[in-house]
Structures are given as structure tokens and as C-alpha cells.
Amino acid sequence: MIKKILSFEEILKGCVKNDNGCKEMMYKSFYGYLMGIILRYTKNIADSEELVNDSFIKIFKNISSYKSPQNTEELHKSFKGWIAQIASRTAIDKLRSSKAQFYVDDLSEEEHPASPVSIVSELHVNDIMKLLNHLPDTQRLVFNLYEVEGFSHDEISKMLTIPESSSRVYLTRAKNKLRTLYLSTMVHSYEKNG
């Protein structure tokens, strides 16, 4: 029996119809992509795998509510954005439930003013991921939401139930810590290679 190669649009339609073959193709196609998103929020591989699977459960449950763009050439990109949002929110929900509450440890912008911090753009993605894993959980979460996912401080404050000013302070602290980690990594690599 010759299997027909399905287009992404056909796979998507099959998932809407609850076709297990299409769901399997979708899962295999996007597992790595969603794992990459989830790993920005959690350090534990077992938790990450569970969160990716939880994300797929939500994706398949809500796939009929996905609104396809008019232009089919944008379909793949649009769908990736939709599932990325589900995955990041799934990870945030898990973090929120595992930490009964985010601690706003006397954060005030006066003491820790939000300052522009730039990180050298020659970093490789793997280097950035390693550096992010050294951040405290809340700082890593706020950094991901603001810098990577593009949420505003207002949206972050609502998601995490923290004051908007705390979101800014966590972001500043994260950037400052990343700068320190980056510089120490560069010094060590210079010493090894020098």
C-alpha cells in the first residue's frame, strides 16, 4: 500500500476530524519545536516532556477553535504561533501552581531602577539557554515572557499576579545577572583558549 504524503493543511484538517494518523504526524512534526519553548521555562527534562504532552492535549482539544489565516501560505507560521502560545501558557500555569505564589521580595523600582542592559548579540542559542538556566525561576520566567514571547509588563503582571513594577525589576535583575554570567563565561573561555 502506498501512503499519500499529506500537506500541512490536510494534516490540520485531519486533526480537526480527530484522525489519529494526522494527530501523530502533527505530534512528531512539532514535538521538538514545543520542547524548545518549554525548556525556556523549566530546567527539568521530565517536567518538560510532561508539559509538551500537556500542551498537545490542549492543542488537540482546542484545534477546532484555531482560526486559519486567509492566506494559506501563512498557515504554518500562524499555527506555530498559536501552539507556541499554548505551550508557554501551559508552562506558566505549571510554574504558577508549583509555586503557590511568586515572592515579591521587597521589589521597588526606586531601589532597583529598570535600566537598559544590552547583551552581546554574537551569543549562540545554546549559550543563551545555558545562561538562562542559571537565573532564578521568576527572573527566567519574566525574561522569557518579555524578551522572547513579547508580552508587556502589564500582561506579565496579570499572568503572574505580581505588580507591574515587580515585573520590570525581575527583568532588570535577570538582564544584570545574564550580563554577569556572560562576562564570566567569556573570561573563562578566553582563559582556556588564550
C-alpha cell at 32: 521538538
Rounded CA-CA distance 69/54 in Å is 25
Q: Are 191 and 184 in contact (CB under 8 A)?
A: no
CA angle 60, 65, 66 (to 5 degrees): 80
Q: What is the pTM of this model?
A: 0.64
Looking at residue 1, its pLDDT comes to: 54
C-alpha cell at 123: 551569543
Looking at residue 19, its pLDDT comes to: 93
Q: Which residue in the block uniquely carries the three cell numbers 496579570?
A: 158
- What phi and psi values does residue 126 have, to the nearest 5 degrees? -60, -40
Looking at residue 4, its pLDDT comes to: 67
3-state secondary structure of 52: helix
pLDDT at 12 over 50: yes
Task: Find the distance separating the first CA and the last CA of the chain, reported in whole Å.
Answer: 60
C-alpha cell at 81: 504561533
C-alpha cell at 125: 542559542
Confidence of residue 121 (pLDDT cuts 50, 70, 90): very low
- What phi and psi values does residue 13 have, to the nearest 5 degrees? -65, -35
Looking at residue 118, its pLDDT comes to: 43
Expressed in percent and rounded to 5, the helix, strand and coil fractions of the chain are: 70, 0, 30
Looking at residue 184, its pLDDT comes to: 78
Tens digit of each residue's pLDDT (9 = 90 or more) over 59-93: 999 999 999 888 878 888 899 989 999 999 898 88
- Rg (C-alpha) for the chain, rounded Å, is 20
Tens digit of each residue's pLDDT (9 = 90 or more) over 145-180: 888 778 889 988 888 888 899 889 999 998 888 888
- What phi and psi values does residue 67 have, to the nearest 5 degrees? -95, 110
